[in-house]
């Protein structure tokens, strides 16, 4: 064994524990219950060996060694190394048998520059890390590879989630890969066809409940008490461990110099919590010296975190009845609100809310940069514009938007936008018309005749250049 291989195998034996975020009770890492047995609050994965510099060295967690090892793995064809999650396995909870890992080669997502969006927002350089480029089209895959692998290791036959669509699509795929059955609870009529069809294709038992997402979550909490079913919502601490690798990848992409700002959409608040946890851990391990400010943006109609911060200083959850066309984040009672408040405070980030028209405009602007995303992801750009106006983000600071879902997740929204139907019959119709019309590109129905097409081209040349 070479020195490097020897140190790599030592690194792979990471020891983790589960700690309650409410009462602090600690127990050994296992995949049985996702809530604290003492007080019922959420659990988080902690790594006791990292507490001191000496402990880190003993665990083989030397900063430059890790950076080099993780980079080298990008040239490997081993399944674990090809995954943009498990490539970072030294800072993830270890499975007792790595063969239990279920991977679709998630992660390793691209970072793009968004010049048009940068101009629209008023910042010099703007980047997007596109988590919609994951195997099932959303960031959920990075968390699912981790939590579903723990479900498999725990011997569960059934996994389950309540979802606004993306979690269910991802869970169904990972369960199918491992031969596990999956149960999906979704709010009837409130998730996009793209996401629903994925769950069906991957063989999930799919129940459309006559309630909203928060209602689905309540029903599922009871189901998992009564049946031997493993909960794969983001209250599951192993989900967040996988999801945190997007932040590690981002830091790696910027040569371990943090951008000034990272902006993320907020729904159930698992993702913001996960990314924030990674930034804090990377600082603790000495891989970065400065933290980025992590800001969370919500839709005005689903603004529980914004209200929680503004009205209670982050002390008590203010639940809302959620309404937004960005169905992925149509959540009124976010489960991970305490974790999100903690990372906002620790990184000095902001919270902001954006209107439906602002979301629609931002989504079209991201599309016009040739990237595209689903509506929930576009809240990041809409929110950035506000943070720049407020002076919280400065023109010369580096900013990364986390785009969470692929454009093709919600083609209905995009088609309605371009046909001018999105706000028809709503109170925002007039506002939408004046702001959005210049961005609309309605498809044309023409005779099959070259002259007609040439006329269209000439007209567009005259009016748009
Ligand atoms: N963006 C997209 C595309 C999402 O699907 C979600 C959440 C979020 C942002 C918000 O992330 O919940 O971690 O704050 N979707 C979940 C689901 C709730 O069921 O697919 P969060």
What per-residue confidence (pLDDT) applies to 56? 74
- The pairing of beta strand 17-20 with beta strand 43-46: antiparallel
Ligand 1: residue of 128, 244, 404, 413 to mutate (most ligand atoms within 8 A of CB) is: 404
What per-residue confidence (pLDDT) applies to 11? 35
Ligand 1: residue of 164, 214, 298, 327 to mutate (most ligand atoms within 8 A of CB) is: 164
Angstrom distance (rounded) from CA 431 to CA 423:
9
Query: Which atom of ligand 1 is found nearest the CA of 243?
Result: 13
Query: Which atom of ligand 1 is found nearest the CA of 271?
Result: 13
Angstrom distance (rounded) from CA 324 to CA 353:
12
For the chain, which ranges sit under pLDDT 70? Answer: 1-14, 30-31, 52-53
Angstrom distance (rounded) from CA 299 to CA 281:
29
The residues that bridge with 161 in the sheet, in sequence order, are 184
Query: Which atom of ligand 1 is found nearest the CA of 161?
Result: 19
Query: Which atom of ligand 1 is found nearest the CA of 374?
Result: 3
- Of all protein residues, the one whose alpha carbon is nearest to atom 4 of ligand 1 is 328
Residue 130: what are its φ and ψ, rounded to 5°? Answer: -100, 95
Ligand 1: residue of 142, 264, 268, 349 to mutate (most ligand atoms within 8 A of CB) is: 268
Angstrom distance (rounded) from CA 29 to CA 27:
6
What spacing in Å lies between the alpha carbon of 75 and ligand 1's midpoint? 31
Q: In terms of Cα–Cα distance, which of 40, 44, 17 is closest to 273?
A: 44
Contact (CB, 8 A) for 184 and 207: yes
Q: In terms of Cα–Cα distance, which of 336, 146, 328, 304 is closest to 235?
A: 336
| 347: number of Cβ within 10 Å | 21
What spacing in Å lies between the alpha carbon of 133 and ligand 1's midpoint? 15
Instruction: Output the CA–CA distances (angstroms, integers) from residue 453 to 168, 418, 444, 462, in the order listed.
Output: 43, 20, 10, 14
Chain Cα centroid distance, residue 386 = 21
What per-residue confidence (pLDDT) applies to 31? 62
What per-residue confidence (pLDDT) applies to 372? 97
Q: In terms of Cα–Cα distance, which of 404, 347, 401 is closest to 375?
A: 404
**Helix, strand counts (H, E) of the chain:** 19, 13
Angstrom distance (rounded) from CA 149 to CA 98:
9
What spacing in Å lies between the alpha carbon of 268 and ligand 1's midpoint? 7
What per-residue confidence (pLDDT) applies to 14? 61
Site residues for ligand 1, CB cut-off 6 Å = 138, 140, 163-167, 234, 265-272, 328-329, 374, 376-377, 404-405
pTM of the model: 0.95
User: Where are the strands (E) in 123-180, listed by range?
Assistant: 126-130, 158-162
Contact (CB, 8 A) for 87 and 101: no
Instruction: Output the CA–CA distances (angstroms, integers) from residue 54 to 48, 57, 59, 137, 223, in the order listed.
Output: 12, 5, 9, 41, 45
Residue 45: what are its φ and ψ, rounded to 5°? Answer: -85, 130
Q: Considering all CA atoms of the chain, what is the largest pairwise distance in Å, rounded to the nearest integer?
A: 76
Contact (CB, 8 A) for 399 and 367: no
Residue 323: what are its φ and ψ, rounded to 5°? Answer: -140, 115
Chain Cα centroid distance, residue 241 = 12
- The pairing of beta strand 17-20 with beta strand 26-28: antiparallel
């Amino acid at each position: 064994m070479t020195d490097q291989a020897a140190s790599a195998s030592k690194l792979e034996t990471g020891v983790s524990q589960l700690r309650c975020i409410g009462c602090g009770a600690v127990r050994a890492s296992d995949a049985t219950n996702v809530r604290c047995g003492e007080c019922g609050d959420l659990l988080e994965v902690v790594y006791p060996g990292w507490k001191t510099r000496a402990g880190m060295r003993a665990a083989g967690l030397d900063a430059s060694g890790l950076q080099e090892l993780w980079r080298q793995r990008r040239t490997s064809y081993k399944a674990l190394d090809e995954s943009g999650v498990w490539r970072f396995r030294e800072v993830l909870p270890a499975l007792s048998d790595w063969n239990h890992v279920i991977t679709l080669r998630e992660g390793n997502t691209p970072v793009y520059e968004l010049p048009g969006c940068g101009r629209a927002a008023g910042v010099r350089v703007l980047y997007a890390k596109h988590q919609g480029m994951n195997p099932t089209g959303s960031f959920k895959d990075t968390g699912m590879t981790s939590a579903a692998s723990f479900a498999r290791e725990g011997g569960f036959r059934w996994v389950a989630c309540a979802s606004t669509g993306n979690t269910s699509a991802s869970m169904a795929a990972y369960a199918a890969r491992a031969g596990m059955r999956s149960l999906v609870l979704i709010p009837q009529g409130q998730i996009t066809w793209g996401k629903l069809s994925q769950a069906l294709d991957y063989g999930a038992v799919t129940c459309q409940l006559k309630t909203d997402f928060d209602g689905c979550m309540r029903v599922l909490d009871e189901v998992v008490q009564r049946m031997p079913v493993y909960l794969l919502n983001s209250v599951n601490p192993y989900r967040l461990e996988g999801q945190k690798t997007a932040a590690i990848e981002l830091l790696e992409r910027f040569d371990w110099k943090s951008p000034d700002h990272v902006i993320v959409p907020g729904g159930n608040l698992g993702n913001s919590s996960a990314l924030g946890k990674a930034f804090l851990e990377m600082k603790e391990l000495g891989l970065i010296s400065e933290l980025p400010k992590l800001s969370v943006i919500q839709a005005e109609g689903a603004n529980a975190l914004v209200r929680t911060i503004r009205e209670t200083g982050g002390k008590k959850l203010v639940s809302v009845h959620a309404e937004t066309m960005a169905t992925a984040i149509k959540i009124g009672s976010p489960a991970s609100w305490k974790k999100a408040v903690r990372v906002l405070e620790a990184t000095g980030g902001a919270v902001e809310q954006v209107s439906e028209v602002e979301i629609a405009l931002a989504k079209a602007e991201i599309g016009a940069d040739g990237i595209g995303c689903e509506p929930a992801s576009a809240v990041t750009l809409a929110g950035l514009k506000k943070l720049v106006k407020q002076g919280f983000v400065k023109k010369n600071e580096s900013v990364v938007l986390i785009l969470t879902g692929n454009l093709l997740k919600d083609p209905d929204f995009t088609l309605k936008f371009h046909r001018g139907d999105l706000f028809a019959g709503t109170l925002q119709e007039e506002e939408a018309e004046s702001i959005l019309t210049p961005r609309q590109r309605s498809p044309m129905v023409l005779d099959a005749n070259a002259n007609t097409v040439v006329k269209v081209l000439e007209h567009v040349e005259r009016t748009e250049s």
